[in-house]
Structure 1
Amino acid sequence: MTAVADPYELVPTAPDVDAYVRLRRDSGLSPKTPEQAGYAVANSWAFVHVRHRPTGEAVAMGRLLGDGGWYFHVADMATLPDHQRQGLGRRVLEWLLAQIDERAPANPYVTLVADPPGRPLYRSLGFVESAPQGVGMVLGTRPTS
Structure 2
Amino acid sequence: MRRELARWGALRSILSKRTAALHSVMRYSCVNEIPSVETYRALRTGSGLSAKTVEAAERGLPHSLFAVQVLDGTTPVGMGRVIGDGGCFYQVVDIAVLKAHQGKGIGKRIMTEIVQYLEANVPETGYVSLIADGEAQNLYAQFGFVHTAPASVGMAFKRRAR
TM bucket by the smaller chain?
A: 0.7 to 0.9
Q: How does 1:13-28 map to 2 (within 5 A)?
A: 13-28=33-48
Q: Deviations over 1:50-101 (max 9, x none)?
A: 1111xx2110000001222131100000000111111111111111111121
Task: Give the structure-1-normalised TM-score.
Answer: 0.87
**1:141: Cα distance to partner?**
5.1
1:36 to 40, 56, 61: 56
Corresponding position: 1:108 with 2:102: no
> Residue 14 of structure 2 corresponds to which residue in structure 1?
none
For 1:109-124, list aligned pairs within 5 A.
Answer: 109-124=127-142
Query: Which runs of at least 4 in structure 1 moved beyond 4 Å after TM superposition?
Result: none
CA gap of 1:90–1:140, structure 2 versus 1, over 3 A, is same
Q: Secondary structure at the match of 2:76?
A: strand
**Counterpart Cα distance in 1 of 2:51 and 2:148:** 27
**AA partner of residue 52 (structure 2):** K
Equivalent residue for 1:82, pick from 100, 115, 130: 100
Q: 2:149 aligned with 1:131, yes or no?
A: yes
Tell me, which stretches of 5 or more residues in structure 2 are unaligned?
Answer: 1-21
Larger helix percent: 2
56-65 or 94-103, which deviates more: 94-103
TM-score, scaled to structure 2:
0.79
Whether 1:7 and 2:27 are equivalent positions in the alignment is: yes
RMSD over aligned CA atoms reads 1.7
SS at match of 2:77: strand
% identity of equivalent residues? 38
Structure 1: state its 5+ residue gaps.
Answer: none
**Using the alignment, how far apart are the partners of 2:125 and 2:41 within structure 1?**
33
Letter matched to residue 34 of structure 1: V
Distance 2:23 2:115 in 1: 28
